[in-house]
Amino acid sequence: MADQKEFAERRRMARFCFACGSDNPGGMHLDIRLDGETAVVDFDAADVYQGFPGHMHGGILATVLDEVMAWAVYAAGSWAVTARAEIRYRDPVPLNGRLRGVGEVTRNRGRSFQARGRVEQPDGTVVAEATGIFMKVPPERLHEMDQLRIPPPPGG
């Protein structure tokens, strides 16, 4: 399990990530937190996430699901990348509501992990859910990826 110091360092390294990066001017700025080996994020169905008029775009929900599952794998002790994700959209999501994303690992297979995620409304109604397979990133590859981080140009 990742400790808080390691988690803070990983968050710093991911600061330009579209989903969770704090320094990506066009990003979602998801503030992921870990609760044991579960990843949780509370976020708003903001107007900028509109797909069909008045409703949240499914791609944004997919991004949140991918993110909470990946951070759950990290909480379980490994940095990993998505190999496959399957998403089930259960209900349309009106804009301007508060949502919660939750991800957890369901199986550690050594080189890969299986995870599941859900996005729910404040009353617990699940609006989207996903399962995914995540491949472990070897430490040497993670180091190479860290060297490739390029900040966006000034002003976006």
**CATH number for the domain harbouring residue 61:** 3.10.129.10
Q: In this predicted structure, what is the pLDDT of residue 152?
A: 55
Residue 155 has pLDDT above 70, yes or no: no
The total of structural domains in the chain comes to 1
Residue 33, strand partner residues? 40
* pLDDT at residue 136 greater than cutoff 80: yes
The pLDDT of residue 143: 66
The answer as to whether 142 is a domain residue is: yes
Could you tell me if residue 1 is inside a domain? no
Provide the 3-class DSSP secondary structure of residue 95. Answer: coil
Amino acid identity, position 11 = R
Give the residues across from 41 on adjacent strands.
101
b (16+ CB within 10 A) / e for 112-146: bbbbbbbbbbeeeeebbbbbbbbbbbeeeeeeeee
Kindly give the residue spans of alpha helices, DSSP state H, lying in 21-116: 58-75
Please report whether residue 14 resides in a domain: no
For Cα atoms 108, 119, 99, give the angle at the middle one, nearest 5 degrees.
140
Residue 143 lies in a domain: yes
**16 within domain boundaries:** no
- Return the structure tokens found at 45: 């169905």
Taking only the tens place, the pLDDT of each residue in 57-97 is 999 999 999 999 999 999 998 889 999 999 999 999 999 99
Residue 42 included in any domain: yes
Evaluate whether residue 118 is within a structural domain: yes
Q: Residue 106: pLDDT above 60?
A: yes
Cα–Cα distance measured from residue 16 to residue 149, given in angstroms and rounded to the nearest whole number: 8
Q: What is the pLDDT of residue 121?
A: 97
Residue 5: per-residue pLDDT: 74
104 in a structural domain: yes
Mean pLDDT of the chain: 89
pTM of the model: 0.88
Place 3 in a pLDDT band, splitting at 50, 70 and 90: low
- Write out the residue range of the structural domain in which residue 43 sits: 31-148
Helix runs in the chain, H state only: 4-13, 58-75, 139-148
Confidence at residue 16, expressed as pLDDT on a 0 to 100 scale: 79
15: pLDDT strictly greater than 60: yes
